[in-house]
Structure 1
Amino acid sequence: MLLSLLTTNPLQFVIIAAALVLSLTVHEFAHAYTADRLGDPTPRRFGRVTLNPVKHLDPFGTLLLLIAGFGFARPVPINPRNLGRWGTLWVSAAGPISNLLIALVAGLLLRFLPPSQFTFTVLSYVLSINVVLAVFNLIPIPLLDGSRIIGALVPSLGRSLAQFEAQPFSFVIVMLFIFIAQGPIGNIIRTVQAWVFGVVGLR
């Protein structure tokens, strides 16, 4: 539980919380910026083409982060009709791609910056958190970016996924699935983390 670190290790809490805020903010900004550049004004109308964390963090999702160690930011509103099939795909992929890029940058800094325990701790958390966010969001289940990518590639499936997301119980079902499948998801995340470490020469 992240919140427990406030009393046991306040510095670690601050580092992890800052890394989470940075990573979630960049993730949502990437969605908004990509949609804006591809011709959809919706994110800009809602003030989402910004790196201001206040515009992106969700109160309940942030509370979950503090209590359970996982959560979510506010989804960026888009209008797929302004983007088309492939534009929607790129907007959906932009968030996970941004997290993978942050992870790679953190890994390169770990390799080339002068050794320091504080620097190593901060960059290790940044790397790990962004790999988790990238892999997690690429899971092809409703409410996550992966489902929207699959939906753009297979429009008929995308319509079914969108109908499921509209149901009031969809969030609960997705959370239950993630809880049940956390073992395999964790294995995939560790594999990607090892790959990133290998790419930047830290393995």
Structure 2
Amino acid sequence: MTTATSRHSDRRISPVFLGIVAVMAVTGWAVWTDFAATPGVAVFLFVTSAWIVSLCLHEYAHARTALHSGDISIGTKGYLTLNPLKYTHALLSIVLPVLFVIMGGIGLPGGAVFIERGRIRGRWKHSLISAAGPLTNVLFALVCTAPFWLDALDGVPVVFRFALAFLGLLQITAAILNSLPVPGLDGYGVIEPWLSYKIRRQVEPFAPFGLLAVFGVLFIPEVNHAFFDAIDAILRGLGISEAETYCGQDFYRFWQTSDFCESVLNR
């Protein structure tokens, strides 16, 4: 009886996660209804909470896939509760990804789940566990951008549309960047099982720095411009204009909203 109760509690959704979802719902409603006196504050809270929800789902996808692949220790670590504080480190899991968004409008996941790889047999399973996170970001991006590529924007308030466009941009950047074959990122985790033991040992010391290295490279102007040109091209294919993502990020940074986006809002 105790074991069954323990297993049930290991999978019960965390009140922390439910609280973040509640913030996302309330602030999303505030953006939709123009209830907030300062729409930028509501956009900031809505996008940030939605981004944290996506981080939780990203890590949950890793954990759930690992559980079904043979790592039965996942539940006792709290990963199935969707509690962001369980994903390795609060600073790396929450604070840094949010700072990335504020500083550069870049979606980079920072959390991680510790998977006991020795319990899992089969290289395909290891690759699938790593791929599950970025695939979750792809799914989240499709949901955020659905009103645009389905041409279902009638009746959608303009600021809410901007917020969705910016959130879609974050999910697409997260999916692409985290799929890079860089040590420490999921893209490397996908190919790692297929590498020789010698190569894996040589690369292992660099894994803790992969995320910061990618972020640092993106600060090179030429790389940054090329990267965001590619992102803009993907978003245009989904029916989202550069002006919509720009204004979404502009309202998100409510402390420095531009006259252009304010003029669009007042039309």
2:71 is aligned with what amino acid? D
Structure-2-length-normalised TM-score: 0.60
> What residue number does 1:82 align with?
119
Residues 16-65 of structure 1 deviation map (CA, whole Å, 9 limit, x = unaligned):
21221121111111111111111112432311123233333843233332
Q: RMSD value over aligned CA atoms?
A: 2.9
Given the alignment of the two structures, is residue 93 of structure 1 paired with residue 134 of structure 2, yes or no? no
State yes or no: 1:31 paired with 2:68. Answer: no
Distance 1:113 1:190 in 2: 19
Q: State the shift of 1:13 in Å.
A: 1.0
Q: 1:48 to 1:186 in 2, by over 3 A?
A: same
Question: 1:23, 1:129 within 8 Å by CA — same for their partners in 2?
Answer: no
**Larger radius of gyration between Structure 1 and Structure 2:** 2
Report SS of the residue matched to 1:179.
coil
* Unaligned runs of at least 5 residues, structure 2: 1-37, 241-267
Does the residue aligned with 2:219 lie in a helix, a strand or coil? helix
- 1:45 and 1:122 map into 2 onto residues whose CA distance is 36
Confirm whether residue 14 of structure 1 aligns to residue 45 of structure 2.
yes
Aligned-partner Cα distance in 2 for 1:95–1:80 = 16
Partner of 1:189: 231
Say if 2:71 is the partner of 1:40: yes
1:73: how far off?
3.1
Aligned length: 190
**Pair 1:162-2:204 in alignment:** yes
Q: CA deviation at 1:197?
A: 4.0
Greater Cα offset, 44-53 or 54-63: 54-63
1:4 alignment counterpart: none
Paired with 2:143 and 2:67, the residues of 1 have a C-alpha distance of: 25
C-alpha distance after superposition, 1:87-123 (max 9, x if no partner): 1100110011011011112222443365211542343
Displacement of 1:147? 1.3
On the 8 A contact 1:57/1:74 being kept in 2, the answer is yes
Identity %: 29
Mapped to 1, the partners of 2:61 and 2:110 lie a distance apart of 13
**Could you tell me how far 1:170 is from its partner in structure 2?**
5.9
Residues 130 and 187 of structure 2 are in contact (CA less than 8 Å); yes or no, is this contact kept in structure 1?
yes
Partner of 2:253: none
Residues 109 and 174 in structure 2, CA contact (< 8 A), matched pair in contact too:
no
Residue 176, structure 1, aligned to residue 216, structure 2: yes
Taking the aligned partners of 1:35 and 1:195, their CA distance within structure 2 comes to: 33
Aligned pair partner of 1:63 in 95, 98, 102: 95
- Of stretches 30-39 and 152-161 in structure 1, the one that deviates more from structure 2 is 152-161
| 1:149 positional shift | 1.4
TM-superposed deviation, 1:185: 3.1
